């Protein structure tokens, strides 16, 4: 049951979060490609925005608006970027999206020249990143703040923030980031005119790039250092670094870079009156620039040729190259226009096709969404049907159980009423019987009293007196028997204590007319002393003991009588022993007393064993008495 509930809850939450996830996927894929294809990224983001709006997810809308802002910033459309990021802030409270929006607003404002606003937004972004412990984002933001200060010529602050960024990059072991931070610091110092400091930080950057084995980075750093040496007028050092840079560019196959470095070398050599050495560098630079069609380098090479020939007192050659330079610049302008038109045409066509593709994709996505919604709906309906079936089953089961229980209860109650009626009837019968016995008891007592009066009041012949004595004794015995029966029938259950006290009373009465007798009543430890017999069982046991004791006193002349109760295999055993003269069982088996004992044993469903021999006492063993 619990398992089923879990599945339903998961399905429910998964359906709700599906829309959000899709918008986020659009956002992430756009951010992956915006550096290389910003227009495609914009189209994807606009699709994502539509989904977010349709799903009513403000968070995703805010995220996508901010991402659009970032892409437009990259395209140089700062005002639009600013608007989008501000709109994003209105839509979401998600701290990470808000921080990203602040960061974007900071960079955009910096580019728009609103430096105070830029710093304000960047500091807000920084405080969120710091609070969240996002060190990388914090380092990037510190770098951005440093750049803003650098633009405002607040060099101390700029260096402070760049150093903070550097520290964070180092903690993250991000050498590339640290190298960029060093570069920024070096640029700040260079702008401030502190070329030695600038040189120092460019060298730090160079060291990190070397550790990273990033040859392109190393080549750029060498070029930067070469430039600083050039401004420091350390021409030789400058040339060494430019040459190293050119070598590395050659190694990595960046020949346009090689051309640029050669142009630098040539320029330095011409300016420092070493024009003779400059010619091969200019030639190579010109060849590379033409091969790779790097316009700036072609122009620099033509300029260097012109300067070179002028330095060598060849004004005509210098003029010729100067003219070629001018013509090239003109042609470039024309070429630029043509290229731009062609590029625009291609761009237009590409964009058109991309739009078509995107439209198809959007249609597909829409269909996918519809199918997914339908599936969710079917799943929901199946779930509903299952739950209703389950509910029906449970209700049916409950009713079935109730009916069964009611039936059982009524059966039990009926049986109970029947048995109670029977019990009441029997109780009544027993009460009548008890009343009858009481009445008979009183009548018998009256008879005895009358007989006694007759005996002592009249002078009767001896034979009649003896007869009256016999009747009186018989009546007395009958009264005792009746009293015992009334005693047993008045009790619901009879305990060992009841039996012991009743027999003790009997022995006491019998003892008064003969010598003293020792009577022992013992219940074995194995027998539960709280054991209770039914009144009939108790009556029969009592009669057996009474008969045995009577025989022991009357015929065996015993002085010690022992009654013992044992327990064997959950059945009782009773043993009555005496130390009397005993008898021969074969001769006296037909006696009334023994017949009575047998009859009572039979009524107890037990077995009887009588062991006796002359002068060796008697043992009467009643065993296998059922444990009720």
Partner 1 sequence: MILLSILYSLVLILVMVAIWIYMQTRIFQKTVVKQNEILQENLAFNLKKYENNTQKYTFLESYNKELLKKLFGITQDLLIVKKAILEDAINGFL
**Which of 20, 152, 256, 535 is in the footprint of partner 1 by CB under 8 A?**
535
Nearer to partner 1, 317 or 598 (CB): 598
Site string for partner 1, 435-464 (x = CB under 8 A): -x---x---x--x------------xx--x
Min CB(147)–partner 1 separation in Å: 45
Quick note: the x/- pattern for partner 1 over 460-499, rule CB under 8 A, is xx--x--xx-xx--xx--x---x--x---x--x-------
For partner 1, the closer of residues 295 and 419 by Cβ is 419
Q: Which of 21, 93, 433, 445 binds partner 1 (CB under 8 A)?
A: 433
Nearer to partner 1, 18 or 328 (CB): 18
Q: 């050498």: which residue's tokens?
A: 175
Residue with tokens 């951005």: 144
Q: Which is nearer to partner 1, 359 or 429 (CB)?
A: 429
Among 28, 363, 368, 373, binds partner 1 (CB under 8 A): 373
Is-contact 617 573, C-beta < 8 A?
no
- Taking CB under 8 A as the binding criterion, the range among 11-19, 155-163, 205-213, 301-309 that sits at the site for partner 1 is 11-19
295 vs 390, which CB is nearer to partner 1?
A: 390
Report in angstroms how near the CB of residue 391 gets to partner 1 at its nearest. Answer: 5
Pick the binder of partner 1 from 8, 358, 510, 560 (CB under 8 A).
8
Residue (132 or 418) nearer to partner 1, CB: 418
Q: For residue 37, what is the DSSP state?
A: -
Residues 429 and 501: their CA atoms lie apart, in Å, by 29
If one asks whether residue 566 binds partner 1 (CB under 8 A), the answer comes out as no
User: Segment 37-66, which members bind partner 1 (CB under 8 A)?
Assistant: 55
The residue within the footprint of partner 1, chosen from 4, 231, 446, 480 (CB under 8 A), is 4
- Kindly state whether residue 595 participates in binding partner 1, applying the rule CB under 8 A: no
Within 13 Å of residue 215, how many CA atoms lie on the same side as its CB?
12
Q: Judged by CB under 8 A, which of 314, 357, 416, 626 binds partner 1?
A: 416
Query: d(Cα 499, Cα 394) in Å, to the nearest integer?
Result: 59
Question: Residue 252: what are its φ and ψ, rounded to 5°?
Answer: -90, 0
Kindly tell me the burial class for residue 191, based on how many C-beta atoms sit within 10 Å of its own C-beta (0-12, 13-18, 19 or more): middle
Q: Residue 110 and residue 105: Cα distance in Å, rounded?
A: 8
CB of 528 to partner 1, least distance (A): 18
Give 264's contacts (C-beta < 8 A, 6+ positions apart): 223, 226, 227, 230, 242
Residue 415 interacts with partner 1 (CB under 8 A)? yes
Asked if 130 and 143 count as a contact pair (C-beta separation under 8 A), the reply is no
How many residues make contact with partner 1 (CB under 8 A)?
66
Site string for partner 1, 147-186 (x = CB under 8 A): ----------------------------------------
Q: Does 331 bind partner 1 (CB under 8 A)?
A: no
Give the CA distances from residue 68 to residues 9, 81, 101, 294, 328, in Å, rounded to whole numbers and listed in that order. Answer: 35, 7, 10, 33, 40
If you write DSSP's letter for every residue of 56-113 in order, what string do you get?
T-HHHHHHHHHHHHHHHHHTT-HHHHHHHHHHHHHH---HHHHHHHHHHHHHHHHHHT
Pick the binder of partner 1 from 357, 430, 442, 626 (CB under 8 A).
430
Closest CA relative to residue 31, chosen from 117, 90, 104, 92: 104
Sheet with strand 560-568: strands edge to edge: 518-523, 560-568, 571-578, 618-625, 607-612
Q: Which of 313, 318, 290 is nearest to 303 (CA)?
A: 318
Q: How many residues does the chain have?
A: 628
Output 39 or 434, the one with its CB closest to partner 1. Answer: 434
User: What is the rounded distance in angstroms from the CA atom of residue 135 to the CA atom of residue 169?
Assistant: 8
Q: How far is the CB of 5 from partner 1 (least distance, A)?
A: 6
Of the two residues 357 and 394, which places its CB atom closer to partner 1 in the complex? Answer: 394
Which among 184-192, 205-213, 296-304, 370-378 is the span making contact with partner 1, rule CB under 8 A?
370-378
* Range list of H helices, 152-214: 155-171, 175-191, 195-212
Rg over alpha carbons for the chain, rounded to the nearest Å, is 62
User: Which stretch in 3-11, 88-96, 515-523, 574-582 sits in contact with partner 1 by CB under 8 A?
Assistant: 3-11
**Longest CA span, the chain:** 199
Q: Residue 522: beta bridge partners?
A: 564
Stretch that binds partner 1, among 92-100, 324-332, 348-356, 428-436 (CB under 8 A): 428-436
d(CA 189, CA 185): 6
**Residue 582 engages partner 1 in binding (rule: CB under 8 A):** no
Residues that bind partner 1 in the complex, under the rule CB under 8 A:
1, 4-5, 8-9, 11-12, 15-16, 19, 55, 373, 376-377, 380-381, 383-384, 387-388, 390-391, 394-395, 397-398, 401-402, 405, 408-409, 412-413, 415-416, 419-420, 422-423, 426-427, 429-430, 433, 436, 440, 444, 447, 460-461, 464, 467-468, 470-471, 474-475, 478, 482, 485, 489, 492, 534-536, 539
């Amino acid at each position: 049951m619990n398992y089923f509930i879990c599945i339903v809850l998961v399905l429910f939450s998964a359906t709700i979060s599906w829309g959000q996830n899709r918008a986020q996927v659009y956002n992430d894929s756009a951010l992956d490609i915006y550096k290389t294809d910003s227009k495609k990224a914009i189209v994807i983001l606009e699709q994502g925005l539509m989904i977010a709006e349709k799903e009513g997810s403000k968070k995703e809308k805010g995220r996508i608006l901010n991402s659009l802002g970032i892409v437009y910033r990259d395209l140089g459309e700062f005002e639009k970027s600013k608007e989008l990021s501000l709109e994003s802030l209105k839509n979401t409270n998600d701290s990470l999206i808000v921080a990203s929006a602040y960061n974007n607003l900071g960079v955009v404002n910096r580019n728009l020249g609103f430096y105070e606003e830029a710093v304000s937004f960047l500091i807000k972004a920084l405080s969120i990143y710091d609070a969240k412990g996002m060190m990388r984002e914090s380092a990037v933001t510190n770098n951005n703040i440093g750049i803003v200060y650098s633009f405002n010529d607040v060099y101390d602050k700029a260096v402070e923030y760049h150093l903070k960024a550097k520290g964070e990059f180092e903690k993250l072991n991000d050498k590339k980031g640290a190298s960029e931070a060093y570069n920024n610091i070096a640029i700040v110092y260079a702008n401030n005119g502190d070329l030695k400091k600038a040189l120092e930080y460019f060298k730090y950057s160079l060291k990190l790039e070397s550790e990273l084995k990033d040859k392109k980075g190393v080549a750029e750093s060498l070029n930067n250092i070469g430039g600083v040496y050039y401004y420091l007028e350390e021409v030789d050092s400058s040339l060494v670094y430019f040459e190293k840079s050119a070598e590395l560019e050659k190694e990595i196959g960046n020949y346009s870079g090689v051309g640029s470095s050669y142009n630098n070398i040539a320029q330095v050599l011409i300016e420092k009156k070493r024009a003779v050495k400059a010619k091969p560098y200019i030639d190579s630079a010109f060849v590379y620039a033409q091969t790779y069609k790097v316009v700036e380098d072609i122009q620099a090479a033509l300029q260097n040729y012109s300067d070179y020939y002028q330095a060598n007192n060849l004004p005509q050659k210098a003029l010729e190259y100067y003219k070629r330079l001018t013509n090239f610049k003109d042609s470039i302008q024309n070429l630029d226009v043509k290229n731009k038109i062609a590029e625009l045409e291609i761009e237009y066509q590409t964009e058109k096709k991309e739009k078509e593709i995107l439209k198809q994709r959007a249609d597909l996505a829409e269909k996918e969404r519809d199918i997914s919604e339908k599936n969710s709906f079917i799943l929901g309906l199946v779930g509903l049907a299952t739950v209703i079936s389950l509910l029906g089953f449970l209700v049916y089961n409950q009713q079935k159980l109730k009916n069964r229980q009611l039936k059982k209860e009524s059966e039990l109650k009926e049986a109970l009423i029947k048995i109670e009626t029977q019990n009441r009837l029997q109780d009544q019968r027993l009460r009548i019987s008890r009343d009858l016995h009481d009445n008979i008891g009183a009548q018998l007592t009256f008879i005895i009293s009358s007989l006694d009066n007759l005996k002592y009041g009249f002078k009767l012949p001896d034979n009649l007196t003896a007869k009256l004595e016999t009747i009186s004794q018989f009546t007395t015995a009958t009264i005792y028997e009746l009293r015992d029966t009334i005693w047993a029938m008045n009790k619901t259950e009879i305990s060992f204590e009841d039996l012991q006290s009743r027999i003790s009373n009997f022995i006491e009465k019998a003892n008064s007319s003969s010598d003293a007798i020792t009577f022992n009543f013992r219940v074995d430890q194995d027998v539960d002393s709280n054991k209770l017999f039914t009144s009939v069982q108790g009556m029969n046991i009592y009669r057996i003991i009474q008969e045995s004791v009577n025989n022991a006193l009357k015929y065996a002349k015993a002085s010690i009588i022992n009654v013992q109760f044992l327990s064997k295999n959950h059945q009782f055993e009773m043993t009555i022993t005496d130390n009397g003269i005993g008898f021969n069982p074969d001769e006296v088996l037909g006696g009334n007393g023994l017949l009575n004992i047998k009859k009572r044993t039979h009524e107890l469903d037990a077995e009887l064993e009588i062991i006796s021999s002359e002068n060796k006492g008697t043992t009467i063993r009643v065993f296998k008495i059922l444990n009720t």
